[in-house]
Amino acid sequence: MPRLSLIALAFALTSLLWVGRARAENDTERDFASANAALKRGATTEAIDTLELLADRGVVHPDVSFERAVAYVERARSSSAAPGDLGRAAAALEETLLLRPDDEEAETGLARIRSEISRRHAREGTAPVMARPSLGRAVTSLFPENVWAVAAALGSLLLTLGLALRRFVHRTSAQLAGAIGVGVGAVLLVLGGAMAGGARHFRLKSTPAVVVVEEAHLLDESGKPFAQKTGNADSVSIPEGASVYVLERKQSLVKVEWGSTEGWLTPGQVRLLSAVPTT
């Protein structure tokens, strides 16, 4: 009897979880449809509020992110435009591409938004939207982390085979093949391992984000304006829509990396991007 009771309890809990999940999915679909309808009738702020509510509930899906980008772009073009609308649209499209890298429409839309922001800043003589990433991040991002890991594993295999040939086969051809295997395998093992380790470090220690205010002035750790080390007393500013990486978070500040520059911003100046779909 106790065993039957436990089975019945487990079944009941599973049923409740399934019902709760199904209900949450239905709520998500209903709210998404509501946001889409609001957008079609020109109620962009209503659509944005609904889509942001989905984001607050932890809903992560490329279609939701793309729809949020469209809503912000439409509001930016209207008389009810709010500061940071284009930056938030850029953030939504960046998120779409993280979730669905082959989305050409999102990639084209992001390029157009950043071109518009760049034109605005060019007229004002301020910084461009894009900044060159640090050398380490640029090199490790040439290939996905898994590709570097496979290269390291292949290098380990070649190195092992090469050493085995040199140790157990004494023919000249085998010795030559073994020497080549040792050389190539060692290079692949060291390079792949180092790059996989670097990519993993960047993935775990930094979170992609986008600046969602018209201009974000970098601060030092104490919250004072961050001045360039070149002797220029002007503070360093990051334009709307720029991609950054959040390295560290405090209660009132977040440390960001923009290109090769690091500094602190207030949390409301950036939007963290979600890269793992939940629906």
Q: pLDDT higher for 21 or 34? A: 34
CB atoms within 10 A of CB 13: 10
Q: What is the pLDDT of residue 28?
A: 85
Please enumerate in sequence order all residues whose Cβ is within 8 A of that of 156, keeping only pairs 6 or more positions apart, or say none. 185, 189
Of 21-25, 29-33, 218-222, 258-262, the one with minimum mean pLDDT is: 21-25
Q: What is the pLDDT of residue 72?
A: 96
Q: What is the pLDDT of residue 133?
A: 84
Q: What would the pLDDT profile of 206-255 be if each residue is shown by its tens digit?
A: 999 999 998 899 998 888 887 655 444 455 888 899 999 999 998 899 99
Q: Which residue ranges make up each domain of the chain?
A: 2-124, 138-205, 206-272
Q: Is the pLDDT of residue 131 over 90?
A: no
Q: What is the pLDDT of residue 168?
A: 84
The whole-number average pLDDT for the span 64-72 is 95
Which residues does residue 217 pair with via DSSP β-bridges, in sequence order?
Answer: 237
Chain-centre distance of CA 194, in angstroms?
22
Using N-to-C axis directions, what is the helix angle for 2-40 and 44-56, rounded to 10°?
160
Residue 247: C-alpha distances to residues 174, 202, 274 (Å) = 50, 9, 15
Q: What would the pLDDT profile of 85-99 be if each residue is shown by its tens digit?
A: 999 999 999 999 999
What are the backbone angles phi and psi of residue 128, rounded to the nearest 5°?
Answer: -70, 165
Q: What CA–CA distance (Å, rounded) separates 105 from 62?
A: 12
CB atoms within 10 A of CB 7: 10
Which residues does residue 123 pair with via DSSP β-bridges, in sequence order?
Answer: none
Residue 7 binned pLDDT confidence (cut-offs 50, 70, 90): low
CB atoms within 10 A of CB 211: 28
DSSP 90: H
Q: What CA–CA distance (Å, rounded) separates 222 from 255?
A: 11
Q: Report domain 2-124's class.
A: mainly alpha
Q: What CA–CA distance (Å, rounded) separates 226 from 69?
A: 31
The whole-number average pLDDT for the span 170-183 is 87
Residue (of 236, 235, 230, 242) closest to 270 by Cα position: 242
Give the CATH architecture of domain 206-272. Roll (2.30)
Residue 191 binned pLDDT confidence (cut-offs 50, 70, 90): very high
CB atoms within 10 A of CB 70: 19
pTM: 0.80
Answer yes or no: are the C-beta atoms of 219 and 263 closer than 8 Å: yes
Q: What is the pLDDT of residue 134?
A: 85
Q: What CA–CA distance (Å, rounded) separates 185 from 154?
A: 7
Q: What is the pLDDT of residue 152?
A: 95
Q: pLDDT higher for 17 or 141? A: 141
Q: What is the pLDDT of residue 196?
A: 94
Please return the burial class of 44, using the count of CB atoms within 10 Å of its CB with bins 0-12, 13-18 and 19+.
buried
Q: What is the pLDDT of residue 210?
A: 95
The whole-number average pLDDT for the span 244-273 is 93
Residue 114 in tokens? 């950043």
Residue 52 binned pLDDT confidence (cut-offs 50, 70, 90): very high
Task: Write down the mean pLDDT value for the chain.
Answer: 85
